[in-house]
Amino acid sequence: MHVVVCMKQVPDTTNVRINPETNTLMREGVESIINPFDEYAPEEALRLKDSCGARVTVVTMGPPQAAVVIREALARGADDGALVSSRAFGGADTLATSYTLSMAIRKLCGGKTPDLVLFGKQAIDGDTAQVGPGVSEFLEVPLVTYVKSLEVAADGAYRVTTVMDDGEQVVEGRFPAVMTVLKEAAVPRFAPLAGWMAAAKAKIEVLDEKAVDADPIRIGLKGSPTKVVTIFPPPVKGGGEKIDARGDGEKGAKAIAAFLQKKGLVK
Amino acid sequence: MADAPILIDRAKCVGCGKCVKGCGFGALSLVDAPGANKLGRLAEVDAAACKACFACIPACPFKAIAQVKQQIYGTEDLESYRDIWVFAEQSHGRIAEVAFELLAKGLELKAQRGEGARLCAVLLGSALAPDLEQSLVAAGADIVYKVDDPSLAEYEANVYVDAVAQLVAKHRPEVILAGATAVGRAFFARVAVKVRTGLTADCTMLKIESTKNKDTGAMQMLLHQTRPAFGGNIMATIMTPNHRPQMATVRPKVFKKAPPDPSRKGEVLLEALKLITPQTRLVKTVRDPDAIDIAAHDILISGGRGLKKEENFKLLFRLAELLGGEVSCSRAVVDAGWAPVARQVGQTGKTVAPKLYLCFGISGAIQHLEGIRGADTIIAVNSDPNAPIFGVADLGIVGDLFEVLPALIKELEK
């Protein structure tokens, strides 16, 4: 069994702001982190390695420093990984990213499709949740989203519980599949020191557009149907009345009760 | 002279002439080129005669011929796409509220678009009751495309993708909107890729306006899709100028539903599609009868980190009972394990639009404020006079919530 896990390095979004004068992103001092939603899929893959001897390959797309994502996964026990990286990939939207990643996955699997491709539920920079489903389409493999638990039977069939808005579905299927995995699925393991040391020395394969045989018109900004036309700071709603009730909770409570009365929100 | 659709690599061409035989239009010929290769001749293309069939590419054993890519990547025949579609998510005989919210927005978009654009709803399911389609018509749909098939009885992403992609290929909508629900986000993203277009997630503003296409210079009626990015710290307006349909998802409660008009007339078209078989087998559906849907409540009593302890969070339930509301929370409360994620408001939780949002100990991180933008009235209690929540609160109480909250409960119990 071969499991490919796709992960992403993202800016720590809590610190991203817009320069009010130029209306451009201020990235200075913004740290890069592993997308918090991407911590669980590798663990799910490593469990399949433990239980069925699966080979675990980690793929990330991003600038050269994103290689750290792969090293961390290697330290935890992944077998190999590749960094999909080139200036030509810059500005890719979810369609171009899905295309590029699917080409990289095919390349890493010798033109075949792996048994299972795992993603986190979404990345915190764009919050789109679109690349997992997009890759499933390019790989022409069934899609299962919001997986809360995954079991693999001896005959290779899988049974998963997925989370919906109004409950859960338990579904069965056969590999190959592309799945997006929730936090509930697995608690990430710690990487042993020896793992870190080996991962630090590992040579990370870098795949560019030529290596993955990508059609140049379908990658990067040029290959992206969606164009960001403007960015601007979120509108600010002005605050209303403010009452200082420090040391006098009663005063605050009475003000709220009166306000609710006035608005007809209380009998 | 126009550029030829193919490019011949002179370094690889050996002058064998196989491509000349392979071309059905006589667009290729051999010309003398002493010294270029052993045979001293090279293939040449007549750009005017080339029909861009690319039969010559596999005909060349030396991979000397390549397709010249067009400069703009896009959908062919953009003008043939018309109408505004809304995906009417249906589950167990109920249409999701977000579909009606999108139809209300769709009516505005239809007016902005003009030129006879129609508003259409897509309804998938099995043994669908006629009142479903009628409710879509009453909400503004001129046409309801209905696919009624046993394989659509329960949501299965892959069959949903197939059904909607087939409808898109057949009817060519200019715009399609879907709710950013667990269903909408997942299968819709794959539909967009299947039809090779863009998709903008979680839009908070949508409008159609005449806009200049930067690639072609032409004026087009384009969908302006505005959404928060980077955790809500930034708003971005996104367009899909060269691909169709223009696709977007919108979270529930972002747009307001309009009152239904039963006198509206619309056409219901039953689409008999040959669908793929489901790729996964549903073993069971677990529906939680106690499932909390904070977005469905008009009054929300919310708590954040400032509550300090789980026991204190429980105080909110008494207040919710008194006011006839439900309890929600900020991300900090979920991270601390005091409440399930179903109660979380904000960017990674739910977007809510209650009549009253009364919150205690929530400072108002941008991600949280994003989730309460649609609230009619916000009342905030916080000990920090500079908490950002006061910037959006209609009434702000600077004070100790451990004093204010019990006093308020007492006041309301009177």
Each residue's pLDDT tens digit in chain A (267 positions)?
Answer: 999 999 999 988 767 777 767 666 676 778 889 998 999 999 999 999 999 999 999 999 999 999 999 999 999 999 999 999 999 998 899 999 999 999 999 999 999 999 999 999 999 888 899 999 999 999 999 999 999 999 998 788 999 999 988 789 999 999 999 999 998 888 999 999 999 999 999 999 999 999 999 999 999 988 999 999 988 887 766 778 899 999 999 999 999 999 999 988 886
Closest by CA position to B397, among listed B369, B359, B365: B359
In whole angstroms, what is the distance from residue B82 CA to residue B176 CA? 10
Within 10 A of A243 (CB to CB), how many other CB atoms are there? 18
Interchain CB distance below 8 Å, A143 and B193: no
Q: Tell me what pLDDT residue B281 has.
A: 94
ipTM rounded to 2 decimals? 0.90
Whether residue A182 lies within 8 A of chain B, CB to CB, comes out as no
Interchain CB distance below 8 Å, A256 and B397: yes
Q: How much is the pTM? A: 0.82
Whether residue B317 lies within 8 A of chain A, CB to CB, comes out as no
Most A-contacting residue of B392, B395, B400 (CB-CB within 10 A), to test interface: B395
Q: How far is B94 from chain A (nearest CA, A)?
A: 12
Closest by CA position to A70, among listed A124, A5, A21, A116: A5
Interface of A with B in 207-236 (CB under 8 A): 215-218, 222-236
Chain B hits for A172, CB-CB cut-off 8 Å, are 280-281, 283
Closest by CA position to B266, among listed B112, B79, B83, B101: B83
For chain A, the residue count is 267
R_g of chain B, CA atoms, integer Å: 29
Which contacts of B261-268 are long-range, i.e. CB under 8 A and separated by 24 or more positions?
Answer: B261/B138, B261/B140, B262/B134, B262/B138, B264/B137, B264/B138, B264/B140, B265/B137, B266/B136, B266/B137, B266/B141, B266/B142, B266/B143, B266/B144, B267/B142, B267/B143, B267/B144, B268/B133, B268/B137, B268/B143, B268/B144, B268/B146
Give the number of C-alpha atoms closer than 13 A to the C-alpha of residue B333, restricted to the C-beta side.
33
Cis peptide before A192 (omega within 30 of 0): no
Q: Over its length of 414 residues, how does chain B's per-residue pLDDT go in tens digits?
A: 356 888 999 899 999 999 999 898 899 999 999 988 999 999 999 988 888 788 899 999 999 998 875 567 888 888 999 999 999 999 999 999 999 999 999 999 999 999 999 999 999 999 999 999 999 999 999 999 999 999 999 999 999 999 999 999 999 999 999 999 999 999 999 999 999 999 999 999 999 999 998 877 889 999 999 998 877 778 899 999 999 999 999 999 889 999 999 999 999 999 999 999 999 999 998 887 667 889 889 999 999 999 999 999 989 999 999 999 999 999 999 989 999 888 999 977 898 999 999 999 999 988 899 889 889 999 999 999 999 999 999 999 999 999 999 999 999 998
Cis peptide before B150 (omega within 30 of 0): no
Q: What are the C-alpha distances in Å from A79 to residues A45, B18, B171? A: 11, 46, 47
Q: Tell me what pLDDT residue B70 has.
A: 57
Interface of B with A in 335-374 (CB under 8 A): 347-348, 355-356, 358, 365-366, 369-370, 373
Closest by CA position to B113, among listed B269, B224, B236, B249: B224
How are strands ordered across the β-sheet holding A227-232? A227-232, B234-239, B219-229, B205-212
Structure tokens at A146: 């919001």
Nearest CA in chain A to B324: A266
Give the number of C-alpha atoms closer than 13 A to the C-alpha of residue B280, restricted to the C-beta side.
29
Angle formed at CA B65 by CA B61 and CA B69, multiple of 5 degrees: 145
Angle formed at CA B303 by CA B301 and CA B309, multiple of 5 degrees: 135
In whole angstroms, what is the distance from residue B282 CA to residue B116 CA? 42
> Which of B69, B238, B366 is closest, CB to CB, to A217?
B69
Chain B hits for A265, CB-CB cut-off 8 Å, are 299, 323, 355-356, 377
Closest by CA position to A139, among listed A179, A169, A166: A179
Most A-contacting residue of B54, B181, B185 (CB-CB within 10 A), to test interface: B185
Structure tokens at B412: 């309301």
For chain B, the residue count is 414
Domain limits, chain A: 2-218, 241-267
Query: B66 pairs with which residues across the strands?
Result: B7
Q: Tell me what pLDDT residue B1 has.
A: 39
Q: Tell me what pLDDT residue A155 has.
A: 82
Interchain CB distance below 8 Å, B398 and A243: yes
Instruction: For residue range A219-238, list pLDDT tens digits in order.
Output: 998 899 999 998 888 776 67
Closest by CA position to A183, among listed A148, A144, A133: A148
Interchain CB distance below 8 Å, A93 and B185: no
Map out the domains of chain B with their CATH numbers: 6-67 (3.30.70.20), 78-270 (3.40.50.620), 294-413 (3.40.50.1220)
Interchain CB distance below 8 Å, A253 and B183: no
Residue type, B285: T
Helix H or strand E segment including A68: helix A67-76
In whole angstroms, what is the distance from residue B197 CA to residue B239 CA? 11
> A2-218: CATH homologous superfamily?
HUPs (3.40.50.620)
Chain B hits for A238, CB-CB cut-off 8 Å, are 391
Size of interface A-B (CB pairs under 8 A): 295
Whether residue A262 lies within 8 A of chain B, CB to CB, comes out as no
Most A-contacting residue of B72, B90, B213, B233 (CB-CB within 10 A), to test interface: B233
Nearest CA in chain A to B202: A128
> Which of A171, A224, A256 is closest, CB to CB, to B408?
A256
In whole angstroms, what is the distance from residue A169 CA to residue A20 CA? 46
Q: Tell me what pLDDT residue A237 has.
A: 67
Residue A160 φ/ψ, nearest 5 degrees: -130, 155
Residue type, A205: E
